[in-house]
């Protein structure tokens, strides 16, 4: 008797066979005995028993596992008894993984995360890819990746770049066969802190011939200025304060201002400035990592005067940009 699998499904299999020739039946037919076991561990599945009287040459097995090999023994039964068996083998089709990837972990640094995981315990087929999704919780920015893998690859390590410092994140990963994706595994964490970006210093542009040549802050009087700023767009950590620098060509005077939770705008009234001296004003934010990058901070300039200062402005003031330099000229 020839026995073949006439379906290729993951959850059930229909076997069909031809009855023995009449000359080989040696008596009136009673039925068939069909016994099937899983190749990997010998577990039996529901088949046909000798007590079932049926001359059908087709039987559907419903308790098989996806992507699993089985061996069946099929024998013909007549009124005298059971004859010799014929062996047939088949493999069920693939299905979606029944469980999620195992041991899913994440190791963050400031702007990147290393993810690691192992393939599902019951893949139900050949894993061909993984779907990795990351959400930055503070900004709801999403990062989606499709990771192709080799056949029988058991573990995966994936580096994801382009994240922001000190961001809470959630991540999920699922395994896929050619049929589709299985359940997801999840993890969560937070990227490491970094120095903050620059606060937003309130300034006014100094414009000559429609060209901005500098920025300045409000002047209260001849010796006092108003320095106002708002929080940085990217604190990149827990802010602890600000450093306000008022500098001349010779002296730098740092002033520490404590961060106050919930406060968005800060003001420092600074007095005691000397006349006829240019002062350079900058503000950097400070968090648990340290102070921000002074070189990337906007610097304002203030020119002070005294009561006896010349009040007549020069004439024919001209401004010209030469590369990164602005050249000023005027008539006395």
Mean pLDDT of 154-176: 97
Q: Name the pTM for this structure.
A: 0.77
Total count of domains within the chain: 3
Residue 211 confidence class, pLDDT cut points 50, 70, 90: confident
Return the residue matching tokens 């008894």: 81
Instruction: State the Cα–Cα distance between residues 162 and 142, nearest whole angstrom.
Output: 11
pLDDT in tens, 100-120: 999 999 999 999 999 999 999
185 and 207 both lie in a single domain: no
Cβ atoms 245, 281 nearer than 8 A: yes
In sequence order, the β-bridge partners of residue 15 are 5, 59
Choose one of 190, 210, 230: the last residue of a domain.
Answer: 190
* CB-neighbour burial class of residue 287 (10 A; exposed 0-12, middle 13-18, buried 19+): buried
Q: Which of 134, 137, 85 is nearest to 114 (CA)?
A: 134
pLDDT at 57: 85
Provide the pLDDT for residue 142: 95
Domain membership flag for residue 153: yes
Q: Quick one: 176 and 234 in the same domain?
A: no
Query: In the chain, what's the furthest Cα-to-Cα distance?
Result: 134
Sheet holding 252-258, edge to edge: 252-258, 239-247, 278-287, 300-303
State the residue range of the domain holding 237.
200-331
47 and 163 both lie in a single domain: no
**pLDDT tier for residue 130 given thresholds of 50, 70 and 90:** very high
**pLDDT by residue (tens digit) across 174-191?**
999 999 999 999 999 999
**Phi, psi dihedrals of residue 325, rounded to the nearest 5°:** -115, 140
């Amino acid at each position: 008797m020839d026995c073949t699998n006439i379906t290729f499904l993951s959850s059930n299999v229909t076997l069909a066979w031809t009855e023995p020739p009449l000359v080989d039946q040696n008596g009136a037919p009673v039925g068939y005995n069909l016994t099937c076991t899983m190749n990997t561990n010998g577990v039996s599945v529901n088949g046909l028993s000798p007590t079932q009287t049926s001359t059908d040459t087709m039987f559907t097995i419903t308790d098989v596992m996806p992507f699993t090999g089985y061996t069946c023994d099929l024998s013909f039964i007549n009124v005298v008894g059971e004859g010799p068996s014929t062996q047939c083998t088949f493999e069920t089709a693939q299905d979606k993984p029944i469980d999620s990837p195992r041991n899913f972990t994440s190791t963050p640094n400031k702007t990147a995360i290393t993810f690691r995981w192992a393939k599902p315990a019951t893949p139900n087929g050949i894993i061909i890819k993984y779907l990795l999704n990351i959400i930055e919780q503070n900004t709801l920015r999403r990062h989606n990746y499709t990771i192709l893998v080799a056949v029988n690859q058991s573990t995966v390590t994936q580096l994801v770049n382009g994240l922001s410092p000190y961001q809470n994140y959630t991540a999920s990963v699922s395994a896929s066969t050619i049929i589709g994706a299985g359940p997801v595994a999840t993890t969560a964490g937070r990227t490491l802190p970094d120095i903050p970006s620059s606060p937003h210093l309130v300034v006014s542009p100094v414009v000559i011939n429609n060209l901005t040549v500098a920025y300045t802050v409000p002047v209260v009087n001849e010796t006092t200025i108003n320095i106002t700023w708002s929080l940085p767009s990217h604190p990149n950590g827990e802010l602890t304060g600000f450093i306000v620098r008022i500098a001349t060509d010779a002296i730098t005077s740092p002033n520490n201002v404590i961060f106050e939770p919930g406060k968005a705008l800060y003001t420092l009234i600074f007095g005691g400035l000397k006349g006829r001296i240019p002062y350079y004003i900058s503000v950097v934010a400070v968090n648990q990592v340290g102070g921000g990058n002074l070189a990337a901070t906007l610097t304002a300039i203030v020119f002070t005067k005294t009561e006896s200062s010349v009040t007549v402005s020069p004439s024919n003031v001209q401004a010209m940009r030469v590369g990164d330099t602005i050249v000023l000229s005027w008539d006395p």
